[in-house]
Structure 1
Amino acid sequence: MRTPTGGAGHGTATAGERLPAAGRLMSIGTVLGQLRGEFPEVTISKIRFLEAEGLVEPRRTPSGYRKFSQEDVERLAQVLRMQRDHYLPLKVIREHLDAAARGEQVQLPAQGSARDAVATGTGAGEPAFWEAAGERRTAARVSRAELLEAAGVSEAELVEWESYGLLVQDAAGAFDAEAVTVARLVADLGGFGLEPRHLRAMKAAAEREAGLVEQVVAPLRRHRNPQTRAHAEATAKELAALSVRLHAALVQTALGVRLG
């Protein structure tokens, strides 16, 4: 049965269990793969946070792993779409989804921008940006077990990648949420014969690029005005995206020269 929030009811499930209308249950790693086509920045921490807020309720295996139905994935996509396109607080998103589940007509606000959300606020009066920032503080780390599960890699592989500095855990044994993406990409590159020792140059280049971004936004982050600090986060994100695009273009150009 479905709960009022629209997620799967609590309970346990095996990896091969089927739901009557939603198909085979999926691991959180599979869910990430489905969502990232439309939402490339979604992470395991994001899904965990939305679960903690009651916006989705996956089943659990006897060993505690999350198992999602296709309906859960569609609900997550709805939530992410409302955040991206309308900058709504999670409380308002939950109310919209619950109303839609009751068959009520739901009228979403006009699409806005992140800057509008910071300047004017949404929903109950709290700017959506602050809610997103709070989310990052709350769900910015993943445990070792969660990383292994989401990335679909072995402990031996993770230990090797750590030895080359490609993945780094903190004092509590947790990893940054982006570690899932890093692990998957390292594994994919390994399929082409690229070993961790070959990737150290990429790691060093990424750290240099991060240093450049930090230089640009550091004065903004030290500002007392909360909106200026919020602008620093948005600027850092935009600069990082531009840096990635430039890196990709430079690699393509270099390959064009080398391969004729």
Structure 2
Amino acid sequence: MRISDVLSALKTEFPAITHSKLRFLEEQGFIHPVRTNSGYRQYCAADLERLRYVLTEQRDRYLPLKVIKTQLDDLDNGALESDTPLGPRVATQDGFTPAQAMLRHLSDIASAANVESKFVEELYEAGILREHIAANTDADRVAFAEHDVEIVRLACALAEFGIDWRHLRSMRAGADRAVALVDQSVAHLAGRSSSSSRAQAANARTELAELLARLHTVWLRDGIAELN
């Protein structure tokens, strides 16, 4: 397969995939396409499946590339059995899955999360929920992502312990500061003009987010242990 064939095969499940992303993963040793006499890359079915594995682990499990690389090496060496494959996600042209594309209103989220609309409206007014601009569309086309349903469900569970939108608003602000820190940390990569650097910046953001999330979890567990 040519690189355009690989992109076409992956585009439905991973709308954000680009040439630069594939070349970056090649540079990192995840795939090893052969070169024709004229220098063009040619990919095999195994390359396509390895790419699908890497992209799925990043998307669904937020794993850093170093961890995914170790998993693949262990699989190649027979030291690790593959988990049950995660199912593909068909996406619309704007980059949203069909389920996400339906979440155009707060009432859609309330219905999906099985909560009252008033509860979702409070979260939205407090800034806990935010609209997302759909990719490759006019700027005024917005939607709520699938993970917003999970946010509502978690907020509903927390409300049973007396933790409401007032507490969540400060937590959301803390998350925003963490996002700004991640963005600042990879600015030197994102600012470069090469497509490889942009792909490297995207992967660095994912790994930094995972590290910050893990650190936050450790702090919480440590604090709770002291309470006990």
TM-score of Structure 1 vs Structure 2, range by shorter chain: 0.5 to 0.7
Shift in alpha-carbon separation, 1:229–1:155, aligned structure 2, 3 A = same
| CA–CA distance in structure 2, aligned partners of residues 90 and 191 of structure 1 | 46
| CA–CA distance in structure 1, aligned partners of residues 185 and 44 of structure 2 | 32
**2:110 alignment counterpart:** 148
Asked if residue 215 in structure 1 is aligned to residue 184 in structure 2, the reply is yes
Q: Secondary structure at 1:138's aligned position in 2?
A: coil
| CA–CA distance in structure 2, aligned partners of residues 153 and 138 of structure 1 | 27
Q: Which has the higher contact order (CA 8 A, sep 6+)?
A: 2
Asked if residue 163 in structure 1 is aligned to residue 125 in structure 2, the reply is yes
Q: Secondary structure at 2:213's aligned position in 1?
A: helix
**1:235 alignment counterpart:** 204
| CA–CA distance in structure 2, aligned partners of residues 185 and 199 of structure 1 | 11
**What is the TM-score normalised by the length of structure 1?**
0.48
Fraction of identical pairs, as percent: 26
Shift in alpha-carbon separation, 1:219–1:93, aligned structure 2, 3 A = closer
**2:95 alignment counterpart:** 138
| CA–CA distance in structure 1, aligned partners of residues 199 and 111 of structure 2 | 33
For structure 1, the 5+ residue unaligned runs are 1-87, 95-111
Instruction: Give the deviation of 1:231 after TM superposition.
Output: 1.3
Q: Deviations over 1:135-164 (max 9, x none)?
A: 696227642254334323332111110121
More off after superposition, 153-162 vs 238-247: 153-162
For structure 2, the 5+ residue unaligned runs are 1-5, 13-24, 34-40, 60-90, 133-139
| CA–CA distance in structure 2, aligned partners of residues 241 and 229 of structure 1 | 19
Asked if residue 195 in structure 1 is aligned to residue 167 in structure 2, the reply is no
Q: Secondary structure at 2:186's aligned position in 1?
A: helix
Question: What CA RMSD, in Å, does the superposition of the two structures yield over aligned residues?
Answer: 3.9
| CA–CA distance in structure 2, aligned partners of residues 244 and 201 of structure 1 | 16
Q: Deviations over 1:99-146 (max 9, x none)?
A: xxxxxxxxxxxxx999445775855899958x989x696227642254
| CA–CA distance in structure 2, aligned partners of residues 93 and 222 of structure 1 | 26
Q: Deviations over 1:55-112 (max 9, x none)?
A: xxxxxxxxxxxxxxxxxxxxxxxxxxxxxxxxx8673799xxxxxxxxxxxxxxxxx9
